[in-house]
Amino acid sequence: MKKNLESINRKFIHLIDHNGTIYRLVSPLSRFPEHQIITSFYDLNEDKLKLIEKLSKDKNTKCILHATGNKKYFYNLKEILAKIFHNRFYIFLHVSPNHFLIKDRLNELRTIKDMSNKLGIKFLIPSKELRQEYLYYGLDTIPIQVGIDFYVNNRIKRLKKGKIISVCTAEEGIYNYIKGIDQFFKLVKYLKLDEQSLVLGNKNKLFKGITTKKVSRETFLRYLRHSQAYIQLSRTESYNLSAIYAKRLKIPIIVSNIEGHKDNVKFGFRVNNLDEAIKILRFILKSQHSPKIKRIIEKNYKDSLKRETLNNFRESFNKLII
């Protein structure tokens, strides 16, 4: 009982500027009494900084700013927040160093590194694999085991024909490059699977012949549950939330062999190039019930159940030491 009380006394304020994937990942932590979520994308008239200053008076409270390097409300206040909380302030980077490079934000990466030295800011990341990547740029980080609270809804309406799915939720064009949608397009075009293929998350006309849809989470899970394969040939990832859902739904997964995916999709299929992706997708479509595919799916499923739980996510924060 004493241990549980100590855990609850460790308070966390999570500041979130992003109302998409990051919010969906972090917001379930609010179910626990020691975690409070504050967002910047609604109630704009409220003085959030005054509220945060008030909460900071409790010296057991830690502040975690969830960031991608985008200059948004809370992110622009990071230096002020670091001074308010002193050594109790963390920035959770939900992107890899390559994301900073692709988005032409190398100077921003240097800025936060300098701030860490000057103000004692600590940095969190969602994958052990990313730690070495950030060390290369002189930024020490602490890996956090992310997790979800997820169950299979058997009432999800069944689709008549499974799709081959990729995901890109951002409207900004460069994210189609980051998420490897151009590679997905080449893959399905080469295998003449245009009509079976679907990109979920935003609606665009960049890739003629492939359906793109902006859908609700329930619809996304409906498509994913009955898909033939989930494919994400991203050029950079910190941690792939959609891959967690695919593992839980026992869907064959093909992802690029990069930073976050190595920790996220431990048992395959991770590919190094388009030729490998073509070969594996052919194998999956022709041999869906093969023992090899079933073993890989089951390993990914069990690994996700063991590691990627909401309680493990919670405990990763509770282990942080001031």
What digits encode the pLDDT tens for the residues 230-260?
Answer: 999 999 999 999 999 999 999 999 999 998 8
Residue 5 confidence (pLDDT): 44
The percent of the chain in helix, strand and coil, each rounded to the nearest 5, is 45, 15, 35
Are both 80 and 178 inside the same structural domain?
A: no
| Residue range 40-54, pLDDT digits in tens | 987 655 688 888 999
pLDDT at 155: 58
Q: Average pLDDT for residues 286-313, to the nearest whole number?
A: 94
Could you list the residue range(s) of the whole structural domain that residue 265 is in?
164-307
* 321 is a domain residue: no
Q: Taking residues 17-24, report their average pLDDT.
A: 92
- Across the range 198-223, mean pLDDT stands at 89
Q: Judge whether 34 lies within some domain.
A: yes
User: Over 60: is that where the pLDDT of 300 sits?
Assistant: yes
Number of structural domains in the chain: 2
For residues 181 and 205, the answer to whether their CB atoms sit within 8 Å is no
On the question of pLDDT at 3 being above 80, the answer is no
- DSSP characters over 165-223: EEE----STHHHHHTTHHHHHHHHHHTT-GGGEEEES---SSSTTSEEE---HHHHHHH
As beta bridge partners, residue 212 has 199
Q: Say if residue 173 is in the same domain as residue 256.
A: yes
Q: Domain holding 296: CATH number? A: 3.40.50.2000
Q: Are residues 98 and 189 in the same domain?
A: no
> Can you tell me the mean pLDDT for 58-79?
94
Same domain, 188 and 61: no
Is 271 a member of any domain?
A: yes
Strand partners, 167: 200
- At residue 8, the pLDDT reads 53
Give dist(CA 74, CA 15) in Å, integer.
Answer: 7
Among the three residues 75, 109, 144, which one is the final residue of a domain in this structure? 144
**Cβ atoms of residues 147 and 311 within 8 Å:** yes
Residue 152, pLDDT > 80, answer no
pLDDT of residue 88 exceeding 60: yes
pLDDT surpasses 50 at 311:
yes
The three-point CA angle 88-81-43 to 5° equals: 120
Question: 46-51 long-range CB contacts below 8 Å, 24 or more apart?
Answer: 48/73, 49/77, 49/80
Give the domain-ending residue among 88, 112, 144: 144
Q: What is the mean pLDDT of the chain?
A: 90
pLDDT above 70: percentage of residues in the chain: 92
Residue 286 pLDDT greater than 60, yes or no: yes
Taking only the tens place, the pLDDT of each residue in 99-130 is 999 988 889 999 999 988 899 899 999 999 99
* 86 pLDDT tier (thresholds 50, 70, 90): confident
Say whether both 122 and 223 belong to one domain.
no
Question: Binning pLDDT at 50, 70 and 90, where does residue 7 land?
Answer: very low
pLDDT at 117 (0 to 100): 86
Query: Do both 125 and 63 map to the same domain?
Result: yes
Tell me: do 298 and 182 sit in the same domain. Answer: yes
In a domain, 26, yes or no: yes
